[in-house]
Structure formats: structure tokens, C-alpha cells
Amino acid sequence: MKKVGGRFMLLGVVVILSIAFFLPSYPRLFHAFPDWLKKVLPSKGITLGLDLQGGIHLVLEVEEDRAVEIAVDRSVNSIQDFLVDKKIPVESVKRTGQTQVTIEFQKAELKAEIQKVLDEFPSFYEVEQSGTANRLVYELREGEIKRIKDSAINQALETIRNRIDQFGVAEPLIQRQGLKQIVVQLPGIKDPKRAKDLIKETALLEFKMLDEESKLAEELPQRVPKGKEEEILKQFRDRIPEGDQILFEKQVEKDTGREFRTPYLVKKRVMLAGDVLSDARVSIGQFNEPYVSVTFDAKGAHEFDRITAENVKKRMAIVLDNTIYSAPVIQERISGGRAQISGTFSMQEANDLAIVLRAGALPAPLKIIQDLTVGPSLGRDSIEKGIRSTLIAGAMVVLFMMIYYRLSGVVADFALALNLICLIGALAGLNATLTLPGIAGIILTIGMGVDSNVLIFERIREELRQGKPVRLAVDGGYDKALLTIIDSHVTTLITGLALFLFGTGPIKGFAVTLCLGIAINLFTALVGTKVVFDVINQRQRVEHLSI
């Protein structure tokens, strides 16, 4: 009896733990428990997937070529700074094409000095040219181009994950797909548009100086209606000085709420980039208007101090994704590594801006390749049909086993119920996300839950036909079916693991329930039903087994 008692105790502990893990999946019931019990029980249960509770499914593609261009532009700025530090006069340093940097200078004797400076940038190599004594052309190496593209995908993946974590979405799915695509699933999202805008926003923060000395700056209109930006760009395109660009600041009339744009002539050179930020948070100004307060790291604080000291009484544009948020006049040198981004935005817009700045800029813009929104009503319908299918499948299996195997079939049905309880508890304990394919895996587990018992019962029947006593027939049936059961379960488990390792979202949901169901089925078939037969045989001498 000691062995039977130990196995009974094991079954009881497993059932109690399964129920305890599953309780948090019912928040109303869970919240009604006393606090001391909540501390003992797990805080999370089964989370419903995108197809069951609604949400958005996005497939994003990183613009790799733009990532390369951005990297080359940053190298151009670094080369300019190096040449200034070395006091080497050049006419221009600019990106030509996608991967080339062209340096033009007046004195041919400067060529050797510039080449020496460019040795500090091993990712570029010199392109041989004839008859160009006053120009050098360098190109990005192929290996560096490949590294930048691969890094752009990984950085975009991490940046999106950081933004979504701060946005507060439960159980998001964010993973790489193929060479340059990212899959994002956000179940239970209440504001899909806001979430998509937050994910897509590049959040490339730059500090640039306004070009106030050019005559064009005075000729630009004070304001233009929203949507007329392209007309202004076409009108002044041929007159924009080299090294400058026209950017627009968003303005909103407080009385009418009407939006318009203010054009500024801005120097293309980036004085300071957002990668030196250490923090960004929302603050309230003296007129009860929200603004974003940014804090620089040590390097950024030093650079910002130097830039503001050199440009007192000049205007600096704070640019995010080629849109000016503000263009204040630098009244004095700003030390301490702090600045603020003010504009006509709401508290929610200020919060979203702070989130993307804290999470970091995307290395390149994203394109939405696929955009699906799943409504909660569709998910509710899927849950109802999944539960109905499970009940129907379970009822049919239970009836078949009772009719065909009689009392032994009831024992198998007990193992089936134990199997489902343990499976649901395991899913809850692992904080698994239940999807529609996952429900299909549970229904499949119902059928598999009695397969092992069918093998065992047929072996027991063979033993009984040979005239063996019931107890020996039961023991022999379990012993002879053991290897066959393990073999069939292990091969199916290998298939399930392959689906989990190489499959995507829905396939993984199916694989998780399949693998858990197989493992639990082994336990319930070889331990759960055997202990029932052992109890029957030990308590009374059984002459005939209903099988």
C-alpha cells in the first residue's frame, strides 16, 4: 500500500498545483481571494493570444538602404569634425550616391593630409580617379554595408521591443521574420493607431542650426496651411543654398485649433544627435503646457555646452524625423546637460515622444507590409467554438471508452480528465499564450489521452485470454505496452519540438500544447490509471475485470 499511497499523494499534489496555477486566469475569482492567498498563488495565468482577444498584427520591413545612407551621413559629419580639428581647409565633404563620400579642396598639396585623416575611417576605401587632383572619393566597404544592414534589423527589433514595453502591452510577440522583416503582434490593444504610430516613428532626434544669414530665410512665408509643404519646397528648391534644407515646424492656433506650418531654412549639418540622450520625461511648463525634458549623457552634455557657447544669440532647431518641434534662440551658454523640447502637443503626444526618445531612435524608417486588426468579437466567437469543440470531442471519447471498455473505460476517462486539468495548469504555470491553434492542440490531446489506455487495455485483454489472474494480467498489460507507448510519444514529441523551434507564432502555440499534452499523457496513462487498478486489486480479490 505504501507505493500506491505515494502515487495517490503525487496525483493529489499535481491536481492541486494545476488548479492553483489556473486560478489567476479568472481575474474576478482571483481578486476575491484574501491577500495572503494571492501572495502564495502565482500572479499570472493563461494569456489569450491575438486571435482570441483581438489586437493588431503587423509585418514591418526595415529600409536597409536608408540605414546605410544614415550611417554614411554620420561618417561625413565625423570626417568634417576631424578635418576642423586638424585645421585642414576643405571646400566640402558630402555623401554622393548611397555609399560614397566626396571631399573637395582647393590646394592639391592638402591631398596627402586628407588621406591621412581618412585612414582613421577603416570602413572606407579610396576610389581611384584620374585627373582629379582637388577631389577625393571614398566608398564604404561591402563587408561594412552588410554589417550595417544586419545591425539595422537587430537594432530595430530591440528598439520596437523597448517602446512596446514602455507602452504597456501584455504578452506582445516581436520577432524577426526572414532577412529584413519584423513581426509584431499586440493582443488586447485598445488604440491601434497610436500603437502603430509609436512603432513606426523613426525618432531620429537632431539639433541643427538655422541659416539666418541667407536672403532666402527672409523670403520664406511666416506660415503655410497644412498640406502645402510640397508647394513651398518646389517654389524654393532651386534657390536653397548647398548644405541647407527647408524644414517645417507644426503650429496650432489656440482659439480655432487650426493647424499650419512655419518653414525654416536649416543647415543640414547635425550639431548633436539623439544617441547621446540618457533620459527623456514629460514636464509641465508655467502655462500648464506639457513639454519633454531631455538629459544628455556625459559626452552629449560636453558637446551641448560647447555648441551653445559658440552660438549665443543664434537659433537652434530641435528636429525629430525632419520635423521641427521648436527653434529657440540660444540666449546663453547651457551647461548641465539638460534641454527641453516644447511644442503644441497634448499630454498623450508628449508622453509618446518621451517614450520613443527613451527607447532610442530606429536605425532606419520602417514600412508596414501587412496590417491586420482582429476584433474582440471574432476572438470571443473563436473561444466559444473552441470550448464547444472540446466538450463535444471529450463527450464522444468518454462515451466510446465507457461503451467499448466498460468499467475500465471509466478509469481511462478519469485519466483523460486528469490529463486536461494538468495541461491547463501547466499552460497557466508557464504563462503561455493560448491561441486558436493551441485550442486545436488541446482537442488533439483529448484523442491522444486515451490512445495509451487503448494499447494497455488490449494488452490486458490478451493476458486475460491466456487465463492469467486479473492482477497479473493488469501488470503484464502495462509492462508489455510500456515500450510501445514511450516510442509513440517520443516520436510525436520530436515532431512537436521541431514545430516549436522552426515554426512561427500560431504554429508555436499548437506545438506548446502538443508537447505538454504528450508529456502529461505519459504521466496520466502510466501512473494515473495504474494506481486505480492497483487500489482495486489490493482492496479486494477481483476474479473478473470489466474490460
Rounded to the nearest 10 degrees, how much is the dihedral formed by the CA atoms of 268, 270, 274, 278?
-160
Q: Are residues 420 and 295 in the same domain?
A: no
pLDDT (tens, 9 = 90+) of the chain, 547 residues, equals 446 777 778 888 888 888 878 877 776 777 777 777 777 676 677 777 767 777 888 888 888 888 888 888 888 888 888 888 888 888 888 888 888 998 888 888 888 888 888 888 888 988 877 666 788 889 999 998 988 888 888 888 888 887 787 666 666 778 888 878 888 888 777 777 878 877 877 777 788 999 988 889 888 998 898 888 889 999 998 889 888 999 998 887 777 778 889 999 999 888 888 777 778 888 887 777 888 888 888 888 888 888 899 898 899 988 887 888 888 888 888 888 888 777 666 787 788 777 777 766 677 788 888 887 776 655 677 777 877 887 888 888 888 888 888 888 888 888 888 888 888 888 888 777 777 788 888 888 777 777 788 888 888 888 888 888 888 888 888 888 888 888 888 888 888 888 888 876 667 778 888 888 888 888 887 787 888 787 777 766 666 777 7
Residue 399 within any structural domain of the chain: yes
For residues 28-38, one letter each, b for 16 or more C-beta atoms within 10 angstroms of the residue's C-beta and e for the rest, the string is: eebeeeeeeee
Q: Is residue 473 part of a domain?
A: yes
Q: Domain end: 372, 387, 405, which one?
A: 372
- Domain of 416, CATH number, reads 1.20.1640.10
Which CATH number does the domain housing residue 292 bear?
A: 3.30.1360.200
- Same-domain status, 253 and 339: yes
CB atoms within 10 A of CB 12: 10
> Do 364 and 397 belong together in one domain?
no
Domain count, the chain: 2
Whether 145 is in a domain gets the answer no
Q: Which domain holds residue 285?
A: 201-372
Residue 466 CA to residue 357 CA, distance in Å, equals 78
Domain membership of residue 70 (yes or no) is: no
Mark whether 365 and 388 lie in a shared domain: no
Is residue 347 located within the same domain as residue 389? Answer: no
Q: From CA 238, how far away is CA 233, in angstroms rounded?
A: 9
Strand boundaries in 83-223, DSSP class E: 92-96, 100-104, 124-126, 135-140, 173-177, 181-187, 205-209
Closest CA to 69 of 200, 258, 247, 202: 202
Same domain membership, residue 355 and residue 235: yes
- Looking at 316, 338, 372, the residue that finishes a domain is 372
Residues 431 and 303 in one domain: no
The answer on 395 and 453 residing in a single domain is yes
Q: Is residue 112 part of a domain?
A: no
Integer-rounded Cα radius of gyration of the chain: 34
| 466 domain-assigned | yes
Structural domain includes residue 94: no
Q: Are residues 316 and 267 part of one domain?
A: yes
Shared domain check, 420 and 503: yes
- Residues 362 and 394 placed together within one structural domain of the fold: no
pTM of the prediction? 0.58
Is the residue at 526 inside a domain?
Answer: yes
Do 417 and 490 lie in a common domain? Answer: yes
